[in-house]
Chains A and B, each alone.
Chain A
Amino acid sequence: MNPPNPYVIETHGLSKTYKKFKALNSLDLRVQQNSIFGFLGPNGAGKTTTIKLMLGLTHPTAGTASIFGMDSVERSVDIRARIGYLPQEPHFYEYMTARQTLHFTAEFFFKGPKKAIDERVNEMLALVDLEEKADRPIKTFSGGERQRLGIAQAQVNYPDLIILDEPAASLDPLGRRDVLEVMSRLRKYATIFYSTHILDDVQRISDTVVILNKGELVAEGPIEELLAGSEGVIYIIHLKGETEPELKKVQSQPWVSGVKTSQLNEETIWQVSVTDPDAAETHLLKLLVNDPVLVTEFRRKQYELEDVFMQVIEGGQNVRK
């Protein structure tokens, strides 16, 4: 017997061309079960195209996408029976109320019992704080309220995979926080695949990140590994006083691969690249404390996702962990 496939989403050479424009070029992706998978990229990178290909809303020019082991073209309806999807700009039938919209959505999955469906709808309305507006037509809803309704309808069927295209785009900071909390909670039951521009959110809750640029995958890996950076371990040291003799001493250490220096007001800043982080952690500061220089700051460089994002988008680097 074959072991169960740990990947919920697998794409192989997935490509999409619109007339002569290559929206997506040979994307290879694997998304593990019960992970929160952040899908990043600037506008026009191909994020929404990828999502639409996975849902069977559009067809690939080349390559395949497999969701739950099923081909996205051949078995798109069966795939969608196990998915909850929030589009980038959610559009619902304007004449329906929020409650009717959730009932309508639930009826694609459940035949009954009516009481259980009613309860699920109420639970979803409470989850996104729309109980008081549940019976108002959607045409009276603000952008944020529509987004919240979109999040509710994406979960009404207890999906195994939730695909969210820019889930926090039109939400205020409190709404954003709530969405992130909901996503973290859902990880126990479902895999979450979401695209966003808000790097801070990704850094906070994602396990794995992929960065797309101009239709191509330019970075992928577990969030900790991406944040570790591609330049190796670097220590940042701020110093005051005569630093030249100490610089030579540091450069001569076998575990130091390079030192970049710069000046900020009266301080000298060193960026010390090391090959052995343990040795650096033990000895680097000790090399400096006995000398007539004043160390005002000493820290290991932490990358922010924004740094990685800018590196791969602007610098054209390819980072795969």
Chain B
Amino acid sequence: MSGNEVFEMVSERGWNRGLNTMLRSGLARWFKTRMWWIQCLIWGSLIGLLLAAIAFNPEPPPSEDLLMLFTVFAGLFPAVGVVIIMQDALVGEKREGTAAWVLSKPLTRPSFVLSKIIANSAGILVTMVVVPCIIAYAIITFSQKASLNPLGFIESMGVIFISHFFFLALTLMLGTFFDSRGPVIGIPLGILFMQQNIIGFIPALGYVLPWNLVVPIGSSTPLVLSLMLKIPIPPGQLITLAAIVIESILFISIGLWRFNREEF
């Protein structure tokens, strides 16, 4: 149609067409609305207040126990938020009709799915990992009157994020298979809260579930704590870390394949 001569047309071709537009919109959803500070407030205050209540107790626990509690809080609680946000990213859009609307534009399906992963990962990293961890770092440092190794702390934040990313990828994959919210929320939350029991029954599953990264199993030290304390990392935990990364990639691949077959 005439009229568009003055415009510089989008020239992207191939699988990533529309990705930039979707990414800008997804990041704006996180960082140009109230969403980022509401999530920071929820997870920062939840983890911070719990930790502060314990750390500033007249009889505070030893620093190692405090760090252990921090890894459990930061590694498990926000995962619930990850599942709830990610189910809305796909099932919510399918049910509300916005997915069909944006896919009627020159946008590929892989771009749609990847934009959800990248934008939500960025939002989750900042609001559910970095901000609560910085608050926790300050509380731990002040209460113990000692500073933690910053590099070890940053590495441990990375592992916490990988643990959350496992649930992000799992929820996204389930969102491509189901149109109702029940299984998409229920299955990841079931895994999140039942991991300990599952590993109790079949210990080998400890290598493929993220529990071991953030919560101690028996007398072992979780990976996050090992990194913070700069103590030697047991090889089994590195296997778990690698398995979680591989599983997350697998979930995303399956999700991309399934979403390509989706009918609107």
Contact = CB atoms under 8 A, between A and B. Distances in A.
B17 A77 contact: yes
B172 to A, nearest CB: 18
Interface stretch (A110-118, A194-202, A217-225, A280-288): A110-118
Contact of B1 (A90, A93, A111, A158): A158
Contacts of B186: none
A47 to B, nearest CB: 15
A236 to B, nearest CB: 45
Contacts, number: 93
A160 interface: yes
B105 A80 contact: yes
A136 interface: no
Interface string B15-47: 001101100110001000100000000000000
Nearest to A53: B263
B106 A104 contact: no
Contact of B10 (A83, A87, A105, A111): A111
Nearest to B107: A108
A88 to B, nearest CB: 9
Nearest to B29: A95
Contacts of A55: 104
Given A95-B29, A108-B21, A112-B8, A189 B98 contact: no
Identify whether the interface residues of A are mostly helix, strand, loop, or mixed: loop
B9 interface: yes
Interface size bracket, B side: 20 to 34
A178 to B, nearest CB: 20
Contacts of B25: 93, 104
B107 A52 contact: no
A41 interface: no
A116 B17 CA distance: 22
Given A55-B104, A77-B106, A108-B107, A91 B98 contact: yes
A109 interface: yes
A87 B101 contact: yes
A50 interface: no
A282 to B, nearest CB: 48
A116 B264 CA distance: 33
B6 A116 contact: yes
Interface-central residue, B97, B106, B108, by most chain A CB under 10 Å: B106
Interface in B175-189: none
Nearest to A123: B3
Contact of B264 (A57, A113, A157, A158): A57
A38 interface: no
B97 A159 contact: no
Given A107-B21, A190-B1, 7 more contacts: A77-B17, A77-B107, A87-B100, A107-B20, A109-B105, A116-B6, A160-B1
26 contacts: A55-B104, A57-B104, A77-B17, A80-B104, A80-B107, A87-B101, A87-B104, A89-B97, A91-B96, A91-B100, A93-B29, A105-B105, A107-B20, A107-B21, A108-B106, A109-B9, A109-B10, A110-B8, A111-B8, A111-B10, A113-B7, A158-B1, A158-B2, A189-B1, A189-B2, A190-B1
Interface of B: 1-4, 6-11, 17-18, 20-21, 24-25, 29, 33, 96-98, 100-101, 103-108, 263-264
